[in-house]
Amino acid sequence: MAVHYKDLGLVNTKVMFQKAVAGGFAVPAYNFNNLEQLQAVILGCVESDSPVILQISKGARSYANQTMLRYMAVGAVEMMKEMGGNIPIAVHLDHGDSYELCVDCIHNGFSSVMIDGSHLPYEENIALTRRVVEYAHEFDVSVEGELGVLAGIEEEVSAERSTYTRPQEVVDFTKRTGVDSLAISIGTSHGAFKFKVKPGQAPPPLRFDILEEVERRLPGFPIVLHGASSVVPEYVEMINRYGGHMEGAVGVSEEQLRRAAHSAVCKINIDSDCRLVITAVVRKVLTEKPGEFDPRKYLGPARDELTKLIKYKNEVVLGSAGHGREIMAAINS
Ligand code: G3H
Ligand code: 13P
Ligand code: ZN
């Protein structure tokens, strides 16, 4: 065992989810790949006293180096304390695609892993997920599984598609795998182009009927919503104004996310929104100051804007603000 998450000052997701289910809010899971994104997540979550899940994809891991990421997570915990914060921080593998990757992350200080067997036949998904759960639980690491496939970035989401989670499978899947949380597919997709809609048209509503049926069959069980960026129009407009081309980018409305957070959804995954803010601000600064070449001068303002967005999401959309200290107290009691 190289390093255990508890030695890094991290927590698993167990108490976070218990509190989120009982309190009708969702814990934010923000992806990060670099220093400025991580700083913004910590600043925004400490300033809003929110629990947080720092989410690392396989791609992020190879981009930033696994050892570097481990030290960044330690740095995040120390920075949080130095700021006078006392919020629970989990480090989670996003969309783990193999047993070996999950094991490696567990050995490298992750407190939670997702094993995404959603593309596999049902029985294979169960077998793989069960294997990861057995190993992870030896180290008190949480495991997220997935049932139902999220539509691809370019694919149209329509009610006819058979990629939604089948509520009749959720009890069998959670019982046989022993997962701590379950990601479901109710009409969201990854990326900044979630729905194909004509200008002025509202995107189709999420399948809350499926979510409600899952909740009825699994009362109190933590449900996870992927592909939950709002694709904030203000930042898409800024990108387009300063030389980008993101016409037609659209996400999940805040109103629907609020509704999901009040229900069984206790973890909401956000990556694209964080990417959009950074890109929008960097484009603006470099367009307005073409002679600027100090990365601090464009990454700094991008980080500040992302901090604001994270606070806003915690306070106004997910409802996680104000629950950080309370969860830490419960973990330490
Ligand atoms: O769900 C996918 C996340 O947004 C991570 O994306 O694999 O490009 O890092 P990535
Ligand atoms: P978005 O692309 O909507 O931000 O979703 C991120 C996600 O689900 C990461 O797992
Ligand atoms: Zn995802």
- Residue 162 pLDDT > 60: no
- Residue 45 pLDDT > 70: yes
Average pLDDT, the chain: 94
Q: For ligand 1, atom 6, name the residue with the nearest CA.
A: 57
CA of 188 to the centre of ligand 2 (A): 9
CA of 58 to the centre of ligand 1 (A): 8
Kind plus residue range of the DSSP H or E element containing 68: helix 66-82
Which ligand 1 atom sits nearest the alpha carbon of residue 60? 9
Model pTM above 0.85: yes
Which ligand 2 atom sits nearest the alpha carbon of residue 192? 2
Question: What's the confidence (pLDDT) of residue 23?
Answer: 97
Residues 72/35, Cβ–Cβ less than 8 Å: yes
Question: What's the confidence (pLDDT) of residue 157?
Answer: 42
- Residue 1 pLDDT > 80: no
Which ligand 1 atom sits nearest the alpha carbon of residue 226? 1
Radius of gyration, alpha carbons of the chain: 19
> How many CB atoms are closer than 10 A to CB 309?
21
Q: Is 272 in the pocket of ligand 2 (CB under 6 A)?
A: yes
- Residue 207 pLDDT > 90: yes
Question: pLDDT, tens digit, for every residue of 83-132?
Answer: 999 999 999 999 999 999 999 999 999 999 999 999 999 999 999 999 99
Question: What's the confidence (pLDDT) of residue 196?
Answer: 85
- Residue 199 pLDDT > 80: no
Q: Is 271 in the pocket of ligand 2 (CB under 6 A)?
A: yes
CA of 154 to the centre of ligand 3 (A): 15
**What confidence tier does 152 reach under pLDDT thresholds 50, 70, 90?**
low
Question: pLDDT, tens digit, for every residue of 22-36?
Answer: 999 999 999 999 999
* Distance of alpha carbon 333 from alpha carbon 330, whole angstroms: 5
Q: Is 94 in the pocket of ligand 2 (CB under 6 A)?
A: yes
- Residue 313 pLDDT > 50: yes
166-to-170, 210, 222, 266, 331 alpha-carbon distances in Å = 7, 8, 17, 19, 34
Question: pLDDT, tens digit, for every residue of 254-309?
Answer: 999 999 999 999 999 999 999 999 999 999 999 999 999 999 999 999 999 999 99
Which residue matches tokens 């077998």? 127
Mark whether 94 is an active-site residue: yes
Question: What's the confidence (pLDDT) of residue 290?
Answer: 98
Q: Is 270 in the pocket of ligand 2 (CB under 6 A)?
A: yes
Give the closest residue to 225 by CA, choosing from 235, 215, 234.
Answer: 215
Residue among 49, 94, 180, 271 flagged as catalytic: 94
Question: What's the confidence (pLDDT) of residue 69?
Answer: 87
Give Cβ neighbours of residue 264 (< 8 Å, ≥ 6 apart): 21, 211, 214, 215, 218, 220, 221, 222, 223
**What confidence tier does 150 reach under pLDDT thresholds 50, 70, 90?**
confident
Instruction: Supply φ then ψ for residue 194, to 5 degrees.
Output: -85, -30
Question: What's the confidence (pLDDT) of residue 204?
Answer: 87
Q: Is 185 in the pocket of ligand 2 (CB under 6 A)?
A: no
Q: Is 229 in the pocket of ligand 2 (CB under 6 A)?
A: yes
Question: What's the confidence (pLDDT) of residue 170?
Answer: 98
